[in-house]
Amino acid sequence: MEKTKDIFASWLHDQNIERLLIILVGVLFILLVTYYLKKIISRHVSNSANKYRSRKAVNVLGYILIISIVLFVYSDKLGNIGIALGLAGAGIAFALQEVITSIAGWINIMTTNSIRIGQRVKIGEIKGDVIDIGVLKTTIMEVGDWVDGDLYNGRITDLSNSFVFKEPIQNYSADYPFLWDEITVPIRTESDFNLARKIFSEVAVEVCGEYSQKSEKVWAKMTDKYRIEDADVQPLITLTFDENWITYTIRYVVDFKKRRSTKDHLFTRLLEEINHYDNIIMIATTSVEVTNVSQTEINKTTGNKK
């Protein structure tokens, strides 16, 4: 029994064991504090964006404190640790080059704000909303693909942050959270095309006028920040025609998350207005006329008798 106590006492007085115990207690304490801080944030912060940022900040602070405890406990050994790390640096850099590039990408994202949580982006072939930005990876809720329109398809994709240096980043909602979109409406050549233009213009202003007003203010700020022309953000109606029909193209500005619903609203209002002008404005359709001519009629036309 005495021998066991002596072994246990010598074990406790071992310098390395003491340091490990101090680190263990410190890490547990930090984890408990960060856990309760995140619970408090979840209860008292209602805004989802602020809640996300606050929880992220608590996590980062926890990591910094843990690293600080380890450095403090082994402060007298830092010289030796530095030599060892220096010798192993080349091998580590080669083995973890993707990880290092991802961390560098994360630093780039954080310092340049090239993408942010909640923005809609297209990175390479992946398109969707950014739902998380970690140290090593960025998480995207995908839109499109097998689903028509800008709707979620339910697939969540993780991208290594190294994409910052490898892939083009197309941002749908950074400085200008609006998109230009357009629809085409074909009408028959015998329709009143002047009346059609007037009606289509009124409908476009009715449905998309609010977006035009908002985007006009945002675009004014864009011209101050970038060398860019003062674009026309009001709905635009253009006409083309051929031997088949007259085609109107309606171009308009829309919120980047409301393309599909706006297009549905626009088509619905256009059909409602066109129905008020039956036989004046008529939708063009592709049709084939098949005529059945009897042999008797052919003989009459040619003057031959069978």
Give me the CATH number covering residue 263.
Answer: 3.30.70.100
Do residue 182 and residue 117 come from a single domain?
no
Closest CA to 30 of 86, 69, 4: 69
pLDDT beyond 50 at 274: yes
pLDDT for position 85? 52
Q: Are 248 and 184 contacting, i.e. CB atoms less than 8 angstroms apart?
A: yes
pLDDT for position 121? 87
Do residue 184 and residue 270 come from a single domain?
yes
The CA distance from 37 to 270, in Å, is 54
Q: What is the mean pLDDT of residues 204-231?
A: 82
Do residue 193 and residue 155 come from a single domain?
no
Residue 88 tokens read as 């192993």
Percent of the chain with pLDDT over 90: 7
The CA distance from 164 to 217, in Å, is 30
> pLDDT tens digits, residue range 124-172?
888 888 888 887 888 998 887 777 777 788 888 888 888 888 888 888 8
Residue 265 makes CB contacts below 8 A (sequence gap 6+) with 207
Query: What is the residue-averaged pLDDT of the chain?
Result: 78
The answer to whether residue 251 sits within a structural domain is yes
The answer to whether residue 286 sits within a structural domain is no
Flag the least confident range among 93-102, 120-129, 188-197, 236-245: 93-102
The answer to whether residue 183 sits within a structural domain is yes
pLDDT for position 145? 76
Helix (H, G, I), strand (E, B) or coil at 294: coil
Name the more confident of 35 and 148: 35
The CA distance from 218 to 177, in Å, is 8
255, β-bridge pairs: 178
Confidence of residue 268 (pLDDT cuts 50, 70, 90): very high
The answer to whether residue 287 sits within a structural domain is no
**Residue 86: left if φ>0, alpha if ψ -120 to 50, beta else—which one?**
alpha
pLDDT for position 306? 45
User: CA torsion angle for 76, 78, 81, 82 (degrees, to 10)?
Assistant: -150
Instruction: Work out how many domains the chain is built from and give that number.
Output: 3
Do residue 185 and residue 257 come from a single domain?
yes
Q: Are 215 and 178 contacting, i.e. CB atoms less than 8 angstroms apart?
A: yes
Residue 248 tokens read as 């109107």
Last residue of some domain: 171, 192, 221?
171
pLDDT beyond 60 at 291: no
Report, in this order, helix, strand and coil percent for the chain, each rounded to 5: 55, 20, 25
pLDDT beyond 70 at 287: no
Flag the least confident range among 21-35, 38-52, 107-121, 189-203: 38-52
Q: Is the dihedral of CA 262, 268, 272, 275 positive or negative?
A: positive
User: What does the chain come to in residues?
Assistant: 306
The CA distance from 281 to 285, in Å, is 13
Residue 25 tokens read as 């207690």
The CA distance from 231 to 241, in Å, is 26
Do residue 197 and residue 252 come from a single domain?
yes
The answer to whether residue 302 sits within a structural domain is no
Closest CA to 164 of 100, 105, 96: 105
Q: Which domain holds residue 198?
A: 178-275
pLDDT beyond 60 at 5: no
Confidence of residue 217 (pLDDT cuts 50, 70, 90): confident
Last residue of some domain: 126, 150, 171?
171
The domain that holds 163 is classified in CATH as: 2.30.30.60
The answer to whether residue 62 sits within a structural domain is yes
Last residue of some domain: 171, 204, 221?
171
The answer to whether residue 159 sits within a structural domain is yes
